[in-house]
Amino acid sequence: MQKIILSSSDKKILTEHAENEKPNESCAILFGKNNVVSEVFLTKNVEESPTNFTISNEQLIEGYKIAEEKKVDVIGIFHSHPNSEAYPSNTDKKFMQSNPVVWIIYSGATKDFRAYLLESEIKEIAVEEK
């Protein structure tokens, strides 16, 4: 998978979520099939931190349950960096190993969406609009 497709309406939902959660990081679970995001599930950053995020186990389980009901997959995890660039932090890199889906990061500083995938190493993939 070299890219992920994110619609402009889902981008808008995620951007607003990121702006609303400032100064803290925001997070969400991305549903879809293959490399196409079909729906976003906004979650709470239980750390309430401007530099880290954690989705509670309850919301993760809820997310997987919704995905199953809707017959879609959990294809990505979204979070925002309110004040820094959309590049994975060391903590992000560590958690990417236990959550090997596409990671989309939104930068509140540059208003950019970027996506990453961990293979043998972390590589950036394209974010395309539908």
CB of residue 65 vs Zn ion: minimum separation in angstroms?
A: 25
Cα 3 from chain centre: 14
The residue (of 47 and 128) whose beta carbon lies closer to Zn ion is: 47
Residues contributing to the site for Zn ion (CB under 5 A): 89, 92
Q: Which residues contact 126 (CB under 8 A, 6 or more apart)?
A: 2, 3, 4, 115
CA distances (Å), 47 to each of 3, 43, 99, in order? Answer: 29, 12, 18
Shortest Å distance, C-beta 21 to Zn ion = 13
Measured from the CB atom, the residue of 38 and 89 that comes closer to Zn ion is 89
Count of alpha carbons within 13 angstroms of residue 81, beta-carbon side: 21
- CB closer to Zn ion, 10 vs 92: 92
Q: Which is nearer to Zn ion, 38 or 84 (CB)?
A: 84
Say how far apart CA 127 and CA 110 lie, in whole Å.
Answer: 15
CB of 88 to Zn ion, least distance (A): 6
Minimum separation from the CB atom of position 91 to Zn ion (A): 7
